Structure 1
Amino acid sequence: MTTLTTPLAERVRPQSLADVVGQTHLLGGSAPLGRMITNGHLPSLILHGEAGIGKTTLARLLAHAVGREFHLLSALDLTVKELRELIDGGNGSKNGLDFGPPVIFIDEIHRFNKAQQDALLGAVESGKITLIGATTENPSFSINNALLSRCQVYRLNPLTTDELVQILKNALAKDKFLQGIQVQGELGKIAYLASGDARKALNLLEIACQNTDGNTLTIDDELIENIAQTVLAHYDKAGDMHYDIISAFIKSVRGSDADAAIYWLARMLTAGEDPAFIARRLVILASEDIGLANPNAILIADTALRSVQSIGMPEARIILAQATVYLTTSAKSNSTYHAINDALAFVKNDNSPVPLHLRNGVTKLMQAQGYGANYIYPHDYPHHYHPQQYLPDHLIGKRFYEFADNQKEQASFAFIHWLKSQN
């Protein structure tokens, strides 16, 4: 029985695939899941995507569309014993259904340990059950390869603001507790706060409606500010979002977009990301992506790291913002990144001896063997330079470092060219 205490997201859950808003890349007539349903075929699946975008609903509707018995389980409290009992007892004929193996839906399947995942292998492989797993984590890292190879993996997209607005409109029209409420203002403002999460959007709408006077919902800045306080940052420091946002942040800095970099920095700080983690990534970037184009970049980044560690939040946000903007607006070069990588790859198959004149002849015996003989001390010559061989014989002329086309490295190139021309 549906009551007002039942969350709105549950009250307006779609009852057929036709009611689903979004995921057209999977559900359209020629899309993968659409074709499966048309053919009456439902294989084992892994549905991968953020929270609140319809994984559970979609699994239930897929099972219903092919007339299968549906079992909804949670990886949080399911034991291997209970799982095996369910598998052994499933025959697909409960409630008069006899159109194939039962569908076992496991929410947060990434939380299953290896033993729990292994318990599913035989039943999935033999076709005794159809498994649908839902995960917010990347399946490549969170699900055993053996189980993953037996399932088809589909990525669900976050819902767009327009799709969320449509879901909100459907709720206002169909939910008996919300019917009759007149909306003044833009539902898009509520949808925007939900960050692609339908469940969150519906929860926010319900909160807003509960705080209205009469039958009119006025969506203004005051309302948005009030309900925004209930929004939890859409960020999981142990999951994909952690890696996705730091990736977006680093790529924005590398791409010289200060506004985007500051935005992603704010997203991380709001979500409670460790400021030292952000600062460490900036130190890496300063060397990898800026390098010799601006040697001060790594000094700024390293100072920011030490300052963040000693000061902490909330003041650390200013330090991180300053370092972020400095690195973002700096000239870029990855010449030394390529140089060391090329050299590391080369020396895996090279163990050339050090030329004798470069060796350190610290004993009379070593000196007698030619260690250090004929070495030229550069400081004894004008401009502190004199040409001599520094690479092994067969590598003379080999280049690992190439001067990049930025002002500082081109200045260094010009200096080295001039220096060599003096001899």
Structure 2
Amino acid sequence: MSKSRNAVPENDLLSVDRDPLRPLAERIRPRTLDEMVGQRRLLAPGSALRRAVESGRVHSMILWGPPGCGKTTLALLLAHYSQAEFRAISAVLSGLPEVRQVLAEAAHRFAEGRRTVLFVDEVHRFNKTQQDAFLPHIERGTIVFVGATTENPSFELNSALLSRCRVHVMEAVSAEDIRLALLHALGDEERGLGGRGLQVGDEALEQISRAADGDVRRGLTLLEIAAELAEGEGGQITAATLAQVLADRTRRFDKGGEQFYDQISALHKSVRSSNPDAALYWLTRMLDGGCDPAYLARRLTRMAVEDIGLADPRALQMALEAWGTYDRLGSPEGELAFAQLVIYLASTAKSNAAYVAYNTARQDVREHGTQEVPLHLRNAPTKLMKQLGYSKGYQYDHDAEGGIALDQTGFPDAMGERVYYQPVERGLEIKLKEKLDRLRAARDAARRTTDGKDG
């Protein structure tokens, strides 16, 4: 009789989950797709991945998601439902010799008509050569490759591996779903904490669920620690017990990974959107996660230049002063200077006109190459230079009517006049726009008059 696709056989990998020496998160690991919490989008009834898993026709894939979202569990279930051997290696602990050995074993198994699901944890830690080692085996079907990563596969995995695998995005598990996992662990007498007489109130479960921060494994670990402490208190998980368990807990933050760049992007875009409250939230998240204050100071200074610009020149000055204030005060006092700066940057007038103007000028420099400086703009400190026409025809603006020689060009002759800077009608740039509009119109009129006389 064939094995049921809806239940895990007793003699497979998950049959060891009764071992009391194993952590609760391992013992209580889901044995069917229905037992998994979270990932409703990815594993919803009728979804492509769920249909593939339940039918046993699984494909090589990359599981991309935060810690504790169920990547390892899903890989195990892929093997169970497809009646395949499960082998796991870690890119942190394994080198190329071990990879080759596992692949050789899989090839032998394949020759005997048996499939292998090879789970590679932290696959982004493998270099290009190590990643390439899997390619021929994936192509031949020797293995069903399942790579797990917390980093963006687009940046961390080579294109050859990505082209042979489907990327599935897994999400952090909600506090509500983590609470369901905790309740299941408390009620399971065979593998969990059931039958121990533990008393856990709804508020305590809520606190543990939130403290897990999207990580089911972390939530179960916190519950297990609380249960051990409660055994000396009559089985009651009290507020005092939780205070010990949840003390100094940290939030998820990878100082160099995907989450890091997502958060700085959120901070920058909140400033740009003139939302000081959201900007302050993301700043606080990054500081809480241990982000380098010097990095934040650089990015905030860039925001002052790029997004506020000449609409409020005080923003740049404030950014530099906040940077210096932090250098003098350190943490935590100096962080208030960053908070004050972020609120101001988000609240003040915005303009990217200078930023756009600079990029447009750069494009002209690339396209037009090395243009000669017009003779009238060149300096003529020697007699020879004067004989060659250097500075000839130059009009000293201070001597011109209104202090500006309107018919005098400042661009190379082959390019003609250009307009890069287009002030917006916000903040100080309102005044700058009024002045430049008048000046540019006057220059156009003066050049038309000069051209008419020349003609």
Same fold (TM over 0.5): yes
Q: In the alignment, what sits opposite 1:276?
A: 294
**1:123-134 aligned within 5 A:** 123-134=137-148
Q: In the alignment, what sits opposite 2:212?
A: 194
- From 148, 164, 174, the equivalent of 1:160 is 174
Contact kept, 8 Å, 1:52 with 1:200, in 2: the verdict is yes
1:142-185 deviation per Cα after TM superposition (whole angstroms, max 9, x unaligned):
11222222111111011122222222222222254245534323
Letter in 1 for 2:382: T
1:75-95 deviation per Cα after TM superposition (whole angstroms, max 9, x unaligned):
12212112112211225859x
How far off is 1:225 after superposition?
A: 4.6
SS at match of 1:314: coil
How far off is 1:304 after superposition?
A: 2.1
How far off is 1:286 after superposition?
A: 0.8
| Greater Cα radius of gyration, structure 1 or 2 | 2
**1:257-276 aligned within 5 A:** 257-276=275-294
- From 250, 253, 262, the equivalent of 1:244 is 262
Residues in 2 aligned to 1:81 and 1:41: alpha-carbon distance in whole angstroms = 30
How far off is 1:373 after superposition?
A: 1.4
1:307-364 deviation per Cα after TM superposition (whole angstroms, max 9, x unaligned):
3334432322122222222212121111111111122123222134322211222322
Contact kept, 8 Å, 2:422 with 2:433, in 1: the verdict is no
> 1:399/1:39 Cα in 2 relative to 1: closer, same or farther (>3 Å)?
farther
Letter in 1 for 2:165: C
Contact kept, 8 Å, 2:424 with 2:433, in 1: the verdict is no
Residues in 1 aligned to 2:270 and 2:40: alpha-carbon distance in whole angstroms = 30
SS at match of 1:348: helix
Letter in 2 for 1:401: Y
Letter in 2 for 1:403: P
Q: Does 1:208 align with 2:222?
A: no
1:65-110 deviation per Cα after TM superposition (whole angstroms, max 9, x unaligned):
111110011112212112112211225859xx97653111011111
> 1:229/1:356 Cα in 2 relative to 1: closer, same or farther (>3 Å)?
same
> 1:378/1:228 Cα in 2 relative to 1: closer, same or farther (>3 Å)?
farther
Contact kept, 8 Å, 1:182 with 1:217, in 2: the verdict is yes
1:273-296 deviation per Cα after TM superposition (whole angstroms, max 9, x unaligned):
211111011111111111011111
- From 356, 359, 374, the equivalent of 2:378 is 359
Q: Does 1:378 align with 2:397?
A: yes
Residues in 2 aligned to 1:61 and 1:377: alpha-carbon distance in whole angstroms = 81
Residues in 2 aligned to 1:224 and 1:378: alpha-carbon distance in whole angstroms = 75
Uncovered stretches (5+) of structure 1, i.e. residues with no partner = none
1:346-404 deviation per Cα after TM superposition (whole angstroms, max 9, x unaligned):
32221343222112223222222222112122222455323122223454453221111
Contact kept, 8 Å, 1:287 with 1:298, in 2: the verdict is yes
Q: In the alignment, what sits opposite 2:435?
A: 415
Q: In the alignment, what sits opposite 2:7?
A: none
> 1:224/1:297 Cα in 2 relative to 1: closer, same or farther (>3 Å)?
farther
Contact kept, 8 Å, 1:92 with 1:102, in 2: the verdict is no
Q: Does 1:111 align with 2:131?
A: no
How far off is 1:37 after superposition?
A: 2.2
- From 29, 48, 56, the equivalent of 1:40 is 56
How far off is 1:206 after superposition?
A: 2.4
Contact kept, 8 Å, 1:22 with 1:159, in 2: the verdict is yes
Identity %: 41
Contact kept, 8 Å, 2:326 with 2:337, in 1: the verdict is yes
Residues in 1 aligned to 2:117 and 2:105: alpha-carbon distance in whole angstroms = 13
SS at match of 2:200: strand
TM-score (norm 2): 0.85
- From 35, 59, 64, the equivalent of 2:75 is 59
Q: In the alignment, what sits opposite 1:183?
A: 200
TM-score (norm 1): 0.91
Residues in 2 aligned to 1:421 and 1:242: alpha-carbon distance in whole angstroms = 47
SS at match of 1:375: coil
> 1:340/1:235 Cα in 2 relative to 1: closer, same or farther (>3 Å)?
same
Uncovered stretches (5+) of structure 2, i.e. residues with no partner = 1-15, 447-455
Contact kept, 8 Å, 2:213 with 2:251, in 1: the verdict is no
Residues in 2 aligned to 1:365 and 1:201: alpha-carbon distance in whole angstroms = 82
> 1:123/1:418 Cα in 2 relative to 1: closer, same or farther (>3 Å)?
closer
Q: Does 1:400 align with 2:432?
A: no
SS at match of 1:353: coil
**1:132-151 aligned within 5 A:** 132-151=146-165
Letter in 2 for 1:134: A
Contact kept, 8 Å, 1:69 with 1:92, in 2: the verdict is no
Contact kept, 8 Å, 2:229 with 2:241, in 1: the verdict is no
SS at match of 2:227: helix
How far off is 1:193 after superposition?
A: 1.9
Residues in 1 aligned to 2:146 and 2:355: alpha-carbon distance in whole angstroms = 43
Residues in 2 aligned to 1:37 and 1:78: alpha-carbon distance in whole angstroms = 28
Q: In the alignment, what sits opposite 1:83?
A: 99
Residues in 2 aligned to 1:232 and 1:417: alpha-carbon distance in whole angstroms = 54
- From 35, 55, 66, the equivalent of 1:50 is 66
> 1:39/1:177 Cα in 2 relative to 1: closer, same or farther (>3 Å)?
closer
Which range moved further: 406-415 or 171-180? 171-180
How far off is 1:306 after superposition?
A: 3.0
> 1:100/1:30 Cα in 2 relative to 1: closer, same or farther (>3 Å)?
farther
SS at match of 2:398: helix
Contact kept, 8 Å, 1:52 with 1:198, in 2: the verdict is yes
- From 298, 315, 320, the equivalent of 2:316 is 298
Q: In the alignment, what sits opposite 2:9?
A: none
> 1:315/1:99 Cα in 2 relative to 1: closer, same or farther (>3 Å)?
farther
Q: In the alignment, what sits opposite 1:309?
A: 327
Which range moved further: 159-168 or 172-181? 172-181
